Amino acid sequence: MSILNQQFDTAYNSAPFSRIKITDYIPAFDTAIAKTKAEILKITENPSAPTFENTLEAVAYSGLELDRIANIFFNLHSAETNDDLDRLAQEIAPKLAALSNDITLNFDLFERIKEVYDQRDGLTLNVEQTTLLEKSYRDFVRNGALLGDNEKEELRKIDAELAVLKLKFGENVLTETNAYELHITNRDDLKGLPEGTIEGAKAAAEGRKKTGWVFTLDYPSYVPFVTYADNRELRREITLAAGRKAFQENEFNNEQNILKITTLRHQRANLLGHSSHASFILQERMAENPEKVNAFLGTLLNKARPAAQREFDELTSFAERTQGISKLERWDGSYFAEKLKQERFNLDDELLKPYFKLDNVLNGAFSVAQKLYGIQFREIDTIDKYHPEVRTYKVVDDNETFVALFYADFFPRKGKRNGAWMTSFKPQHIRDGKQERPHVSIVCNFTKPTATKPSLLTFNEVTTLFHEFGHALHGMLADTTYPTLSGTSVYWDFVELPSQIMENWCYEKEALELFAKHYQTGELIPMHIIAKIKESASFLEGMATLRQLSFGMLDMGWHASDPRGIQSVKSFESDIFEATDLYPQIKESAMSPAFSHIFNGGYSSGYYSYKWAEVLDADAFSYFQQKGIFNSEIATLFKDYILSKGGTEHPMILYKRFRGQEPTVDALLKRAGLME
C-alpha cells in the first residue's frame, strides 16, 4: 500500500513529502477512489431509513483520504511540477472527474438526500447542519441528479474533457513562461534598473551558464524590467513576449483550448437548465445572476472611466514633457507611472525596498495577526518540506493550543507557476468529537535574495504577502464541523474579503511601525514616507480600476452568453476591451490564452469578485478605522463571524452580524478617490 493511503506517522499528521515517490501517486489515487466509492456504497445500501447523520454527515466525511492525496498532488503540480507530474495530472484528472460524476449522478444517494431534505422542516438541526443539508441537495441538483440517463452520460463526457483541457491550458502557460528569456550582454541596456534587479538577472544568467544578464517572464524579473528599464525597445520586446504567452503558432497555443472550454461549459450549463455558464455559477454567489454582475461592473466603469482618462492624459503629458513621447504604448505604462509617482510623491519603490525585508514583512504579518486574533507563529523544522526554500510554522493561540500548520513558499523557480495563491494540504473539521486542525500554505513569486542582499520586497509585494496571508488566516482560524463548509469553502465572491481587508494594514502607521525597518540600520521607516505611502494609495486608481474591470468584463463575455459563434479569440476580447482600453491595441498580444484565473483556476464567471470584495473590504475596514485598527472588539467580531464560520451561513448574514449593516460602495469610492 502506498504511503499516501496510510495514516501519516508524522508530527501534526503533516504530509511526508520526502518519502513520497512519483510511483506512489497512481496506486494511491486508485486505492482512495475505490475507498471513496465503498464509503458511498455503504451509505446507499444502509437498510435504515435516511437520516441527517447516516446520509448527509456520512457524505460530508466521505473521501477525506482522497482529498488529502489530491491536495498534496495538485499543490505540488502548481508549486513544484515536472514532466512526470504533468503526465500524471493528465491521467488523474479524468479519474477524479469521473468519480465526482459517480457521486453526484448516483440516483440512490440523491434519493436518500432528497428524503431527508423533504423532511427538513420537521428536523431539529442547527444552522451549520441546515446549511449542509440545503447545500448538499442543491449541489446534487446543480450537478445533474435530476437528469435522465442519456443526459447524465453526456455530462460525464463533458466533465472528463474539461478536466483535461483545463490542465492542458495551465501547462501551456507555464511552458511558454519558462521558454522565454531576454538575454542582455550590453550593460548600457540595463540603465534605469535597480541594482538588486541587475544582480538577480546576473544570477539568473549564471544559473543558465550564460554571460551577462537574463530577464524572464516571472513577475520578480518582468515587473521591475518594465517599470524601470530606460531602454524602451527592450521594454517593448519583453511586454510583447508576455502578451504572446500561449498565443503563438506552436503546440502550446491555447486559443482552441479556450473555445473548447467555453463551449463545453456552456453546453454543460444548458444541460443543467441554465442559459449560460455564468448563470449556472452565479446561482451560488452573492451576486446571484449575470445581470447583477454586469450592472455592478457597469456602475464602477461609469465612475472609473472619466478618472482613468484624466489620469492617462496626465501620464501622456508627463511622458511628452520628460521624454518627448506623445503616444503611450503598453510597455510605457508602468515605466512612466513610476516616474510620475516619484515626481509627485518623491516616493520610489527602490528607496522603499530596504525597509521591506521579506523576513521583517512576514514577521509583521504575524504581529498583526497576533494583535488582532491572539495567535502566534513559531518556525519549526520538525515537519517535511516539498522544497528546501519552503518555511514551516506551528501556529498556537494565547493558551498554547495548536491552531494550524503554516507553510510559506516565496521565490520563483522552474516548475512553479507564476502569481501568488493560498492553498491547503488539510482542511479543518470536527469528527467524532475530535478537532482536526488545518495545514495551510501560501505560495508567492517574490524577489530572491542575492549574494549581497536579502529578499527586499516592493510595496506591491508587501501587499501581496498580506493578501495571501489573509486567505491563510481564513483557513487557519476555521472552526466548523464539516470539511465541506470549512475555511475558504465560501461563496467565491466572498472569499476575497479576508484577503483584501488585510492589505489595508500595509498603509497604516501603527502596523508599519511593527515591521518597516531598514534591513541594514534597523531604522524605522520615516513618518513622512508613511504619510506618502498613504497619500499615494489612490495614485492612478482610476486606471487600475479600469484594468480590473476589463478582466471581469472579459470573464463575463466568455461565460455569460453562447460562445459557439466566436471565431477569433483576439477579435472577441478586443471588442470587449474597447470600453476599457486606454492604450493602443497590440495585434501580437492577447490576454485570454494566458488568463489562468478563469480557464485553469476557479474564477470562471467570478473575476468580478475581486472588485465585489473590495466593496466589502473597504466597508469592513472603515469599521476598524472608526474603532481603531487593532481594536480587539471589532477583531473578535471579524474572527467570530467571518474568519471562523466558513460557509456555514449565507455570507451576507455573516457580514451583517459582523458589521451591523449591509455594505455600501461609498467606502470603496472614497478610498479610490472616485467619489464625486
Residues with catalytic roles: 468
In the structure grid, which three cell numbers stand for residue 621, read together?
A: 475596514
Bridge-based pairing state of the strands 402-409 and 439-443:
parallel
**What is the phi-psi region of residue 13: left when phi exceeds 0, alpha when psi lies from -120 to 50, beta otherwise?**
left
The angle that helices 64-79 and 25-44 make with each other, rounded to 10 degrees, is: 150
- The C-alpha cell 504567452 sits at 245
The bridge status of strand 434-436 relative to strand 402-409 is: unpaired
Q: How many C-alpha atoms does 329 have within 13 Å on its Cβ side?
A: 13
Beta bridge partners of 431: 434
Number of neighbouring beta carbons within 10 Å of residue 38: 10
Three cell numbers written together for 287: 451576486
CB distance 674 to 530 below 8 Å? no
Look at residue 625 and give its three-state secondary structure: helix
In sequence order, what are the residues at sequence separation of 6 or more whose Cβ sits closer than 8 angstroms to the Cβ of residue 65?
5, 32, 35, 36
Q: What grid cell was written down for 427?
A: 482542511
Q: Residue 572 is inside which H or E element, if any? A: helix 569-577
Report the b/e string of 417-436 with b at 16+ CB within 10 A: bbbbebbbbbbbbeeeeeee
Give CA–CA dist 615/510, Å, rounded.
23
User: Torsions phi, psi of 452, nearest 5?
Assistant: -115, -10
257/255 Cα distance (integer angstroms) = 5
The whole-angstrom separation of Cα 164 and Cα 159 is 9
Whole-angstrom Cα distance, residue 270 to residue 265?
9
CA distances from 158 to 100, 151, 194, 584, 592 (A): 12, 11, 49, 38, 21
